[in-house]
Amino acid sequence: MQAADMTLTQARAALAAKTMSAAEYAQALIAVQQSQTAINAWVSLDNDALLAAARACDSGAWCSQADKALAGIPIALKDNIDTLTLSTSGGTPALKDAQPLHNAPVAQSLFDAGALLAGKTNMHELAFGISTNNAYTGATHNPWHHDMIAGGSSGGSAAAVAARMVPAALGTDTGASVRLPAALCGVVGFRPTVGRYSGAGIIPISHTRDTAGPITRSVQDAALIDSVLCGAAVGLEKLDLKGLRLGVARADFYQGADTEVLDAMEVLLAQLARAGVTLVEGDVAGMSGLNAQVGFPLALYELTVDLPAYLNHNRYKLSLAQIAEKIASPDVAGIVGSQLGDQAMPRAAYEAALKARVHLQAAYAEHFLAHRLDALVFPTTILPARPIGQDETVELNGAQVPTFPTYIRNTDPGSNAGIPGISIPMGLTKAGLPLGLELDGPVSSDRRLLAVAAAIEALLPPMPAPKR
C-alpha cells in the first residue's frame, strides 16, 4: 500500500511504529496534491511549512507519543475555519487574506493532538450552497469524474480526502455540507450533535444549525477525530448487527429518488436484514411540514446576527453589507443580499421557526423511542453527482428539478433537529459515481451512531480509490 492510500488510522500506526516518517508521509501527500491540481480542492497551501512541521515531528519524537493521537498527520481545514498561519476567506472576495486573531478551537484541538495543517480547502462561497461551484475561487471537481460537482459546501475537503491528498479534513455542515460532499465523493462525513464541538472561530451562518464535522475514508478515522474534538474515549463499542433496529422512513427519505439510488438501497436493506438487523418501516410524524418551517428562517435571520459578530470578534472593519457587495457567486449574492433590505427575515418568523424546531426535535425523539431505533437509514442524497454548472436545476428521473432543495432533501431535517448523522459510501453507479448511505441517530447518541456505522461499513465492500 502506498503511503497516500493509507487511512488516518493506518498512517498513524505506521508513524508510531517508525516504519514511515512524518516527512516521508507529508511528501507523499504533497506529490498527490501536485498531480491533482485540476480538482481545485485547495484555496491556500504552504507545503514548505507542512514539511518543516513534519520534520519537527520526526526530530521531536512526537510521532511515538501515546498522548498525541494525531501526531504527524496532515489534516485539511475548510476555508471558513480560522487558523493563525493561513488566512480564512470563506471563499469570498471581501475576506481575501483575512487573518484571524486565534485558531478556531476545533483547529487548536487537532493541533494539540499533533495534527499538521495540510492547507485550507475550497468551498461554496460563504458556505451557502451545495455544489462548490464558486465564482471567486473556481469550482471544485469531483475526483471520480471531473465534469461533476464534488458537492458542498465542503466540496474541497471531501475531494481532497477522496483523491488521497490528505487522510482527513474538517468541513462544516449547516444543512448538508459535510455529508453531501462526502456522499458524492465516496468518503465518510460525520455531522455531530449540534454543540458537541465548539463553533467559535468558524465563519458562521447559523449558531442553531452550524457544526464542524470530520471527513475521512473510514468510520474509525471519523471516530478518532471525534474523540479528539470532544474528549471522548478513543475506542468504539464493537456492535453485532444482529439485534440492531434501523428505521426505514420511505415517504420521508426514499420517495422520488433516482432509480439507481433506490436499487442500491434495496440491495443494502436486504443485506442488513440477512445480517440480523430489524428494519422498522414508518415515517417520522409531521417531519416534512415541521422541517419546512425551520430551516431558512433560522439560517437567514441568524446570518444577520452571527456573521457581524464573527467579523467584530476578529476586529475586521467590515459590515455584512460590505461582505455582500463583493460576493462573486450569483446564488450566494441573491441569498445574502436579500437580508439587507425589506425582504430580510422578520423576527416573528424566526421565533416561529424556533418553536417549530422544538416540535421537530420532539417528533424525532418520539419516533426513536416508540420504535426503539438505533438509527434511521436512508440515502444521503436522492441523486448522484451532476455536471458542474447546473446550479438552478438538475435532471432527476427524466424531469428538471430545483438543484439546492433536491440535494439537501434528506440531510436537512436532521440538521434542523440538531441530531447526529453520518454518511458512508455504499458503492458506485453504473457510470462510476459514488452513492452515500446516511444514518441519523437520537440526539447525543454520537458514539453509538459511529459504532452502528462501523458495523454497517464492515458489511460493505471496500470503496476503491478514484483513478489518478
Q: Is residue 185 part of a domain?
A: yes
- CB 385 within 8 Å of CB 442: no
How many domains would you assign to the chain?
Answer: 1
> 107 lies in which domain range?
3-459
Average pLDDT (442-447) is: 98
Q: Is residue 389 part of a domain?
A: yes
420: pLDDT strictly greater than 80: yes
Q: Is residue 468 part of a domain?
A: no
Average pLDDT (279-305) is: 96
pLDDT at position 341: 86
Mean pLDDT score of the chain, rounded to an integer? 96
* 382: three-class secondary structure by DSSP: coil
The CATH number assigned to the domain holding 298 equals 3.90.1300.10
Interval 27-52: pLDDT, tens: 999 999 999 999 999 999 999 999 99
Q: For residue 279, how far is the Cα from the chain centroid? A: 27
Residue 177 known to be catalytic: yes
How many Cβ atoms sit within 10 Å of the Cβ of residue 183? 31
Average pLDDT (378-396) is: 98
> Which of 12-21, 192-201, 437-446 shows the lowest mean pLDDT across its residues?
12-21
Average pLDDT (70-95) is: 98
Q: What are phi and psi of 91, to 5 degrees?
A: 65, 30
408: pLDDT strictly greater than 90: yes
Average pLDDT (85-111) is: 97
Rg (alpha carbons) of the chain, rounded to whole number: 21
Return the sign of the alpha-carbon dihedral for residues 102, 107, 111, 117: negative
pLDDT at position 1: 82
- CB 380 within 8 Å of CB 268: no
129: pLDDT strictly greater than 90: yes
- Enumerate the β-bridge partners of residue 173: 211
Average pLDDT (88-116) is: 97
pLDDT band at residue 234 using 50, 70 and 90 as cut-offs: confident
Q: Is 316 left (phi over 0), alpha (psi -120 to 50) or beta?
A: beta
The x, y and z cell numbers of residue 190, run together, are 460525520
Q: Is residue 41 part of a domain?
A: yes
Average pLDDT (304-310) is: 98
Q: Is residue 316 part of a domain?
A: yes
66: pLDDT strictly greater than 70: no
- The single residue of 153, 157, 218, 227 carrying the catalytic annotation is 153
Interval 150-196: pLDDT, tens: 999 999 999 999 999 999 999 999 999 999 999 999 999 999 999 99
Q: For residue 170, how far is the Cα from the chain centroid? A: 7
Average pLDDT (428-439) is: 98
229: pLDDT strictly greater than 80: yes
Looking up cell 480542492 gives 41
Rounded alpha-carbon distances, angstroms, from residue 346 to 165, 204, 302: 44, 19, 11
Q: Is residue 391 part of a domain?
A: yes
Looking up cell 420511505 gives 250
64: pLDDT strictly greater than 70: no
Q: What are phi and psi of 230, to 5 degrees?
A: -130, 5
Number of H helices, E strands in the chain: 16, 17
- The single residue of 21, 177, 218, 415 carrying the catalytic annotation is 177
Please report which residue ranges of 241-286 form alpha helices under DSSP H.
250-253, 259-274
Q: Is residue 466 part of a domain?
A: no
Q: Is 91 left (phi over 0), alpha (psi -120 to 50) or beta?
A: left
329: pLDDT strictly greater than 90: yes
61: pLDDT strictly greater than 80: no
121 sits in which H/E element: strand 116-121
Residue 78 known to be catalytic: yes
Average pLDDT (394-412) is: 98
- The single residue of 78, 157, 329, 423 carrying the catalytic annotation is 78
Query: 64 versus 134: which is more confidently predicted?
Result: 134
Average pLDDT (73-93) is: 98
